Homo-oligomer: A and B are copies of this chain.
Amino acid sequence: MTKLEKLIKILKSKGKRITENKEAILRILISTKNPIGIPDILNQLSYKNLLPNKTTVYREIYNLEKLNIIKKVFIDQENKLYELNSEDDHHHHIVCTICNKVAEFEPPIEIEESFKKFQKTLSKKNNFKITDHSFEFFGTCNNCNNK
């Protein structure tokens, strides 16, 4: 079963309908390598000759986020950026603060382990139910360094 099929199955099981717009949005989310924002999604849809109203896309992204299919990525403050929220691919990002190029990395197990431990301590101390974390690096990429 492809990623797309899996997602469609989940959506249908939640009583959602698969429309041309929605499937196209899913395809974009699946195929894009980097976190993506809504203005960019609207652009990509228009390349495919789909011209849904922006309200439609904003609402669809809102729904996908509520269903936990996508999640916000905190690496940029110009746009809200999203990416698929897949259990089996827990990755983070390195962002070039000049050209906005994004690379992914998976932290070594030791780090993930120490996060988990620390998260428990922190949770108790601050009386927070912790559900997520962000761990991202910022800097300048090779290309921008040599300009």
- Chain B residue at minimum C-beta to C-beta distance from A103: B126
Which range contains the number of A residues in contact with the other chain? Answer: 35 or more
Q: How far is the CA of A119 from the CA of B35 in the complex (A)?
A: 21
| CB-contacts of A69-97 with B (<8 A) | 72, 74-77, 79-81, 94, 96-97
Q: How far is the CA of A77 from the CA of B133 in the complex (A)?
A: 15
Binds B, one of A2-10, A16-24, A139-147: A139-147
Say whether A137 contacts B141, CB under 8 Å: no
| Chain A window 123-147, contacts with chain B (Cβ cutoff 8 Å), 1 for yes, 0 for no | 1011111111111111111100100
A118 within 8 A of B: yes
Say whether B134 contacts A130, CB under 8 Å: no
Say whether B118 contacts A129, CB under 8 Å: no
Contacts of A52 in B (CB 8 A): none
The listed residue (B76, B115, B130) touching A138 by CB distance below 8 A is: B130
Contacts of A135 in B (CB 8 A): 133-135
